[in-house]
Structure 1
Amino acid sequence: MTAEKIDTLVIGAGQAGIAMSEHLTQMGVPHLVLERNRIAERWRSERWDSLVANGPAWHDRFPGLEFDDIAPEVFPPKERMAKYFEDYAALIDAPVRTNVEVTCVKRCEGRPGFIVITSQGEIEALRVVAATGPFQKPSFPAIVPDTAGITQLHSSAYKNPGQLPQGAVLVVGGGASGSQIAEELQRAGRKVFLSIGEHYRPPRAYRQRDYVWWLGVLGKWDEIKVQAKKKHVAFAVSGYDGGKTIDFRRFGHAGITVLGMTQAYEDGVLHIAGDLAANIAEGDRAYLDVLREADAYVTRNGIDLPPEPGAWNMLPDPACIADPVRTLDLRAENVTSIIWATGFKFDFSWLQVAAFDEQGQPFHKRGISAEQGIYFLGLPELTNRASSFIYGCWYDAKYIATHIGVQRNYVSYQKT
């Protein structure tokens, strides 16, 4: 059976794959986009019911299409985000094939390109773009054994409070997901414990501008003038409840018991690290740094944005932060569920090429991999901190499409 042939094959039809398709079309590159489920499937089935985009509608979109039914400052709900990418794919006439799973990519022998094995047959492509994004395989530590009798879910499997058995809930993770889920559960009447580690906690908005705007004008998307931060630090900002700043002191005063990092489990008791004060202080430092930089920017550029003195005020420490809990007896506290909002890890087991380093991580520069003809798109820090966001992956895709166009010109060159 002869394999179908195509110049460039894009794996994944989420935000990265759709962006890639747009730029390949503009470059005149024949291509296909394969998606194992539906377009933007993770927005639909791998997120909780109340999830909204982390940025407002004016920002969390591609340049070619605005939201026609949502005000610019509103944070679009997850189903609307999925529809947005479906609409965008239709707008650009993206050649997407859904319900096609890629199981293996390997280099051809004796000729250029790659053999791509899918659930619907083989495709031979000169180039392959892995646009499967940063949220590939749920990751959480094996701290609490299955024999503990506790319902354990990763945040990607959590849907709503009614999904969980009656009782208290421990949420592990202080980023956008863990914070939003903890607050939702507390409002639903659950007793909630929230275990947080190191985190970056900016203001949701300041001086009538959303944080995504400050990220842009202060150069924080690019981080050229910013000292390198520790990797894998939770990004504590979300659009939940209209876009309020995540404030762990406010959570504590509302009844959520904020804990340090969950370390170990022994005989029904969780041992909690003594790092809560340091984590809160580091989050405060990041928050105040943004306020200072924003004020300096306003003054330097003479912009008419009203002062916001109230943003500098910190709530007093609630009891759980002033006197941190170091051990949590799950049975005594009636904790029946744990939600691990601890992020994801890569799963490129299907990509059987020399595009990875010694640790098995993608080896690339701006998405151009060590294996000629293999590209990565949508990964965190691919080019900068915007790369895994809707705003950023569109521009990264443009760079990769340009590189593909240049390579096609080299291959097609013939001496006259």
Structure 2
Amino acid sequence: MRQYEPDRPTPVEVAAMRRSLRSGRAALARRSFLGGALAVGGAGALSACGIPAAGKSQGGVSADDHSATEKVVNFSNWPEYIDVDDSGKVHPTLDAFRKRTGITVKYTEDINDNDEFFGKIQPQLAAGQDTGRDLIVLTDWLAARMIRLGYVQKLDASNLPHAFANLSDQFRSPDWDPGRAYSYPWQGISTVVAFNKKALNGVEVKSVSDLLDNPALKGRVGLLTEMRDTVGMTMLDMGIDPGKFTGDNYDAVIARLQKAVDKGQIRRFTGNDYTSDLSKGDLAACVAWGGDIVQLQADNPDVGYVIPDSGYMTSTDNLMIPNKARHKTNAERLIDYYFEPEPAAELSAYVNYVSPVGDVKPYLAKIDKSAASNPLIVPDKAMRAKSRSFRALSSKEETAYQQKFAKLTGA
């Protein structure tokens, strides 16, 4: 194992600096994507696009599998969401997969927004046509919709021995895909409370209540434009389970958040652009995504975070095979490859989000001990116990809840 001198940056720090310089994934508002057409159009907008209503699934549509004769996988992902070498041109884990299997991965960073990408592929899926993609990465709420609409194929468990064996219990059976029949997580996303110690100037922040109620933070608090994270964290703070809440529970949370907005407690609702304000101290504290905090801490020792006693929200970006994909078996082999501990560790060392592989820590420690010991990258047992997920929504609920949240945020 290579030893890193104390005065040299670790791989996590190098990755963070590279992302900053290239204005990559962390600079994109990649999880603030529901303020547009879906939020205001909801089920009506879906119907207008010719998408079947929820509950009327077409079922996954397979195609002739050409994996045996065409050694390729067409893989669409988000920008800056995979390991890259120093040249910025080679993805080491994909290169290793090719050398081992003879399968070339045609990797495209063409997902910048869930809704936008869905609009790009939906006409082909609705028409029963090949999208030209064998593997895509979608955030859990859209993954749930894709399954509900019958737009993705059921996975063949016999091609996924590592995925089944090594998947962390934390991500094993979401309510929108019980037993992971149609998806496997690419990375997990932890939502926490972050702060700038210098900007706090001695004020203690341990919970969402501190963000919403402490007058010393008035006008210096940030919340996320992603409804499931902001509402979910507030639910936990109020003793409501985000996995089982009712409509009345949701309305109570919106009322509490509205009170904080009305009294000027909230500076603004943001996507990933909160990172600049937090680092500069314009935001004293905020609801934040764990991977961003890892990256910020590499440059700014004043940035810190806390896991509230009430718990924290977890979501996932997920690998799925769309209908009519030509290379389903090859795509499943690639999914399974990323659940082997070694490539999983290489990926986590670069992207800094939560690995879905349960035993990744000792392998990650060989690359970067600081990453392996960071609970925002490898949650320990106590942290995993505080993890909660937002329950799946019906089409009707999604429309109603997004409209209420959009009104709150001024979207």
Normalising by structure 1, report the TM-score.
Answer: 0.22
Bigger Rg, structure 1 or 2: 1
Q: Higher helix proportion, which one?
A: 2
Q: Higher strand proportion, which one?
A: 1
Normalising by structure 2, report the TM-score.
Answer: 0.22
